[in-house]
Amino acid sequence: MTISPLAGLPAPPERLINLAGLLCDYYTVEPLAAVSFGTSGHRGSAFKGAFNESHVVAITAAVIEYRTQKGYKGPIFLAHDTHALSDAAWRTALTVFAAYDIPVVISRDREYCPTPVTSFLILEHNRSHPQALSDGLIITPSHNPPQDGGIKYNPPHGGPADVDVTGWIEKRANELLGRIYTIKRIPLAKALTAPSVEIRDYITPFVEALGEVVDLELVKSSGIKIGADPLGGSGIHYWAPIAERWGLNITVVNPIVDPGFTFMPLDSDGVIRMDCSSPYAMANLIKTSGNYDLGFGNDPDFDRHGIISGGKLMNPNHYLATAIHYLLANRPSWPTAAKIGKTLVSSSIIDRVVQGAGRTVYETPVGFKWFVPGLIERTLAFGGEESAGASFLRRNGQTWTTDKCGFCLTLLAAEMTAKSNKLPHEIFRQITERYGQTDYVRIDSDITPQAKAVLTNLDPTVLIGAQLADLKVVRAWNKAPGNDAAIGGLKVLLSDGSWFAMRPSGTEPKMKLYAESLGGPSLLTKLTEQAQDLVFSR
């Protein structure tokens, strides 16, 4: 993978976007692309006619029809992050909801609302109003570049919608896109004062409840110095209330909200991308991390986490293993039979940590939606993705959120440091001393439609017995062992326990190759170099 010479550096003027032009295109450009829900909703840029006002109007109207058919009588929580198109789309969606007298809750002062907060609010409402269920519409493209917009729907279970739901909404939205003029709207000023629109404080109840998930009293007593970089995201105004309520020593190192994200260092490919799992995007916090005991970073919708420990950004897989290791030893009220959810492209060291604690791994395809039922029913105590997103049960064993929560994962790093007097990277070093060291990588590359068809339709059993990097393929599969759901690609296990997995992206013509070596960096290089030949030569 080629690293841009500008990676980790401030964006030069030519890399910044034209915000005025972007917003003009949002309102004036006719849709050039259909509505398409990938793993995290519909995403696209107004510059390319892929995320424009018509898309948002059609999706909002489709959501109204869907929730009406399902009989959801509670309010829909409307949330948005700090991208320029998010604010515009939030206004658009509200004008549609209000025109149809749909009960909707918006945040006080039009405050940004992180994804985990929306999940929390939905679940809290539905616990006390089972006959009037609520859901949520979250307007965010997550860590995508500033020119992108995104919109995703969370049903009453509070987590990401399943494919049957998103498929219905996608199909109906595309039908409505062809006759957008039939959808009612009212002016924004009228919508903001409509009887169906309720304004509510989103921050206080969430901040108060955080102490039920992480032992913040312990963090307070330790006096740990924390540097938090919201990367200009939707949780930026949550850290100060968290610090005040719980007496934490938190410094928000970057208090700027800028829809152009001009303060961001460029990512590995030279693009502005608010990816808290990237050391290039997190370069500013890494540079100043010596001022703090721990550093935290989050993406714009705060469903992902980045942990800086010992002056370096921890590999997401390493931190997930560390978090699971700590939680299983320090949550005595968790259900004893509850499993630990992981995506099948996450590190195998997680499996060894879970097994060492006498628990069972629940392995799924990529996508947090697979963990939602288990977190609700508490058959899962933890669900985590390799891309630095996870959530877990409250300290008393009750459900917290059914979407990824960047707040609880970052604050957990402070709790484990206070409890053990060791930083997360030091705890992980102890884990590797017990369970062994691995080398892990994910590589994204272009893929043709023909190659995608081969990958999707390949019978993985034909690979068993083949040689790769002087090792034998002992197992190959295209369905996740936890729930027997299709991977969308395949995973291959080698005779020494090393593995690789390949799957096409759901939103762009890219292939994602994941590999983990138990035989050192040189074996990892061989795996990544030879995997495609093994698969596509069949």
Residue with tokens 């030879």: 530
SS (H, E, C) 412-480: HHHHHHHHHCCCHHHHHHHHHHHHCCCEEEEEEEECCHHHHHHHHHCCHHHHCCCEECCEEEEEEEEEC
Q: Using an 8 Å Cβ cutoff, are 497 and 348 in contact? A: yes
Residue from 119, 134, 142, 391 carrying the catalytic annotation: 142
Q: How many whole angstroms separate alpha carbon 437 and alpha carbon 186?
A: 59
Handedness of CA 361, 366, 370, 374 (dihedral sign): positive
* H or E segment to which residue 18 belongs: none
The pair phi, psi for residue 309, each rounded to 5°, is -135, 125
* CA angle (344, 350, 351) in 5-degree steps: 75
Q: How many whole angstroms separate alpha carbon 337 and alpha carbon 104?
A: 38
Residue with tokens 């370069």: 283
**CA–CA distance from 22 to each of 18, 52, 140 (Å)?**
6, 10, 16
Active site includes 142?
yes
**CA–CA distance from 337 to each of 133, 377, 381, 396 (Å)?**
29, 12, 9, 15
The residues assigned a catalytic role are 142
